[in-house]
Amino acid sequence: MFPGCSQPSYRCDLDHNVRRVDGGPTSATNLVPLCRRHHRAKDEAGWDLVHDPVTGSCTWTSPAGHSYTVDAPVHDTGFYPGREPTDWSTPLIPRPAPAGTRAPAASAADPDEPPPF
């Protein structure tokens, strides 16, 4: 939601428009997804954010006084034409592994150690 930022929201933090320490509530009207860099720009570098909860747009004001407005993304068209948006309200149901596949073998040194990422 920062001008020109291309980070997808799933890689961002949900950031309080009005910081929690400044009395901002944790609510849908006071949260926007910001990448870590732009989250810090707002909190530490003097950028000001005004979020319109009705339209979803964000207006940013730089430390030099220049204003930029970012409109909320349109999700109804999606990135994959012809595919319905995912319904995140339904719980995920684990599916059994396909026939002929095996679970990955545990490390010989320590079977409780997770794989490196």
> What is the domain partition of the chain in residue ranges?
9-70
d(CA 93, CA 63): 48
Residues in the chain where the model's pLDDT stays below 70: 74-94, 97, 101-117
d(CA 21, CA 106): 45
Strands (E) in the chain, as ranges, are: 13-16, 31-34, 48-51, 58-61, 67-70
**32-46: pLDDT as tens digits:** 888 898 888 888 888
d(CA 72, CA 56): 5
d(CA 34, CA 20): 15
What's the pLDDT at 78?
A: 46
What's the pLDDT at 39?
A: 86
**62-74: pLDDT as tens digits:** 999 999 998 887 6
What's the pLDDT at 61?
A: 92
